[in-house]
Amino acid sequence: MEALRPVDGFRQRLEERAFAPLIKTGRGFYLLVAALLLVVGWGVFAYSTQLREGLIVTGMRDRISWGLYIAMFVFFIGISMAGTLISAILRIAKAEWRMPITRMAEFITVVALLVAPAMISLDLGQPLRMANLFIFGRWQSPLIWDVFGLTTYLVASAIYLYLALIPDLGICRDRLSAAVHPLKRWFFRLFAVEWHGTPGQHHSLARALGVVMIVIIPVAVSMHTVTSWIFAMTLREPWDSTMFGAYFVAGALYSGVGVLIILMAVIRKAFHLEEYVTTGHFMKLGYMLAAFALIVMFFNVSEYVTAGFKLRGESEMHLAQVFIGALAPYYWFYALAGMVLPVLLIAVPFTRNMWGILLAAVLANVGMWIERYLIVVGGLRVPLNPYEPANYFPSWVEWSLMAAAFALFTLLIALALKLVPAVAVWEMVEHHEAKHVTETVSESTPVAEALDGGRLPGAPLRMRPAAGPADGGQK
């Protein structure tokens, strides 16, 4: 491995920490992957049962015809807001503290958007005809809007994730070639697309990131809106609401931040990134979590107070089932433990620490999962004809596939973290060095090339003021 030129140690420490998982794999990781694969495998078996016998193996029937699968779909779509929020919105807001966590957030987005369509496919009665969505798709259908929205958002997030990855892959290619498996070496070389940190490349990269970052925000908002419109475009009482779009965006922001906090805590511990993912990050995200909780609470109050005051049509039955009836335990857990408690945990200084915020995030996500379930099942449970409301209990197939979905989500992130660094090394180094630059030198390429040896091969081509005498070329 080439000798690293010592600077102030920041970069060296960061690269060491960030690249360590790419080089070495501990036994814990193998155990984790094995366990996750087991769960996913069990899910595959459960699905094969469903393919063979039909959806009769689930707990869904004619009265409540959507259940766990759709709730999971909406849940995964919901958590995908994390990436856009942290990467795009905070980048536009020039909130520099976001840098160590952008990549984790983007991973959450991309992987969630890969798992979500899997959940929808599980729900289809004729999954082999899925191509009909593309051959016979009707532009007028909210489900097709959702397909378009999801595809667009997935592609946008993937492009955004990849763009921000390129310089890091360049570093990996240059630094780690000797230390990793040839397959990984090939992966770095291929996907680094000859990144050498030239000013021209930086310029292209910055432009591309800038454009995608702006486009991705309305794409993300539309994505959540059209997902909500799958429900809001029907005539069922609890769904027939004009504010569903905004409600889902708010819920997505909430659950997205929650999942990010959880992932952040796990990765920070597992990869020893305490120096970079600090308590400050937890605090800031905690405040955001509390703010979004309040917004979601506001939507809840808006919806239920306006409906409850009038009690029009089926509202009475729906409010009864949610507040005092069959679904009441779930709703009150969501409202109190999933919305109020996180706000309290973050508002009260005693609990406003890493552990308190982590607990708040976990509660927030459990609460939001319950909320998705309540939207789907509660909405369908309101009878449209005179009969007693039906009840829905997911079967073992549905529970297995839900577990498999979570396992797949975790597995994909875990595997991805073995391929690329968990933090955006290049961005953090750049930011750190920009803060410590006392003199600046022109960055134009001819000058750079003339100063042959004044920088490390493959390193971002920033002119450092105190560059020592020319080394006469590194090996």
Partner 1 sequence: MKALVKVGFLAVVLSLASVAVTGAVLADGPASTSLELVAPAAPAVGQPLTLTAKVTDQAKAPVAGVEVVFWQRAAFLNSESDVELGRATTDKAGVATLDFIPRTEGAVPVSAKFAGNAKYARTSAGAEIDIKPGPQQFHQEKGIHIPGVGVWWLVALMAGVWGTFLWAVRQIRVIFHEGQKVASSEWGRHHV
Partner 2 sequence: MSQAGQKPGTPQAVSRRRFLTLAGIGALGLVAAGSGLKLLGGAKTRAEEAHTGAGERVRQWTAIFDLRSCDGCQSQNTAPKCAQSCILGRFVPEPMEWLEVYEHNIAGGGSQFVPTLCMQCQNPPCVNVCPVGATWQTPEGVVLIDQTRCIGCRFCMAACPYERRFFLWGDPPRPPETALVHYSPLHQIGAPKGTVMKCDFCTEILSAGRLPYCAEACPNHAFYFGDLEEDLATNGDKVVKLSQFVAENQAYHLKAELGTKPRVFYIPGHGEAVGRSPFKKGRLSVEWPWNKEGVKTWKRSGR
| Closest CB to partner 2 among residues 66, 331 | 66
Token match 């009260």: residue?
Answer: 348
| Closest CB to partner 2 among residues 191, 332 | 191
| 53 in contact with partner 2 (CB under 8 A) | yes
| Closest CB to partner 2 among residues 127, 218 | 127
In angstroms, give the least distance from the CB of 326 to partner 2.
Answer: 13
Is residue 286 classed as helix, strand or coil in its secondary structure? helix
Choose the one of partner 1, partner 2, none that binds residue 53, judging by a C-beta under 5 to 8 angstroms depending on kind. Answer: partner 2
Choose the one of partner 1, partner 2, none that binds residue 188, judging by a C-beta under 5 to 8 angstroms depending on kind. Answer: none
Of 160-179, which residues contact partner 1 (CB under 8 A)?
A: 162-163, 166
Q: What is the CA radius of gyration of the chain?
A: 25
Is residue 187 classed as helix, strand or coil in its secondary structure? helix
Pair of tokens at residue 400: 């297995």
Residue 240 backbone class (left: φ over 0; alpha: ψ -120 to 50; beta: rest): beta
In angstroms, give the least distance from the CB of 210 to partner 1.
Answer: 10
| 475 in contact with partner 2 (CB under 8 A) | no
| 130 in contact with partner 2 (CB under 8 A) | yes
> Of the ranges 226-234, 407-415, 441-449, 459-467, which one interacts with partner 2 (CB under 8 A)?
226-234
d(CA 370, CA 390): 19
d(CA 458, CA 61): 60
Q: What is the DSSP letter of 5?
A: P
Choose the one of partner 1, partner 2, none that binds residue 219, judging by a C-beta under 5 to 8 angstroms depending on kind. Answer: partner 1
| 23 in contact with partner 1 (CB under 8 A) | no
> At residue 73, what is the residue type?
F
Choose the one of partner 1, partner 2, none that binds residue 204, judging by a C-beta under 5 to 8 angstroms depending on kind. Answer: partner 1
Q: What is the DSSP letter of 385?
A: S
| Closest CB to partner 2 among residues 40, 118 | 118
Written as one string, the DSSP assignment of 199-251 is HHHHHHHHHHHHHHHHHHHHHHHHHHHHHHHHHHTS--TTT--TTHHHHHHHH
d(CA 179, CA 184): 10
| 446 in contact with partner 1 (CB under 8 A) | no
Pair of tokens at residue 255: 């659950």
The residues near 32 (Cβ < 8 Å, ≥ 6 apart) are 414
> Of the ranges 131-139, 241-249, 259-267, 326-334, which one interacts with partner 2 (CB under 8 A)?
131-139
d(CA 93, CA 113): 25
In angstroms, give the least distance from the CB of 333 to partner 1.
Answer: 39
* φ and ψ at residue 434, rounded to 5 degrees: -65, -35
Of 373-412, which residues contact partner 2 (CB under 8 A)?
A: 380, 384-388, 390-393
Asked if residue 225 lies in contact with residue 148, where contact means CB atoms within 8 angstroms, the answer is: no
Asked if residue 235 lies in contact with residue 313, where contact means CB atoms within 8 angstroms, the answer is: no
CA 71 to chain centre: 17
| 444 in contact with partner 1 (CB under 8 A) | no
Q: Residue 412: count other Cβ atoms within 10 Å of its Cβ.
A: 17
Residue among 34, 135, 450, 466 that touches partner 2 (CB under 8 A) = 135
The binding track of 110-149 with respect to partner 1, each residue x by CB under 8 A or -, is: -----------------------------xx----x--x-
Asked if residue 224 lies in contact with residue 252, where contact means CB atoms within 8 angstroms, the answer is: yes
| 439 in contact with partner 2 (CB under 8 A) | no
- Residue numbers of the site for partner 1 (CB under 8 A)? 139-140, 145, 148, 152, 155-156, 159, 162-163, 166, 193-196, 198, 200-201, 204-205, 207-208, 211-212, 215, 219, 449, 452, 457-458, 473-474
- Residue numbers of the site for partner 2 (CB under 8 A)? 53-56, 58-66, 123-127, 129-130, 132-138, 140-144, 147, 190, 194, 230-231, 233-236, 380, 384-388, 390-393
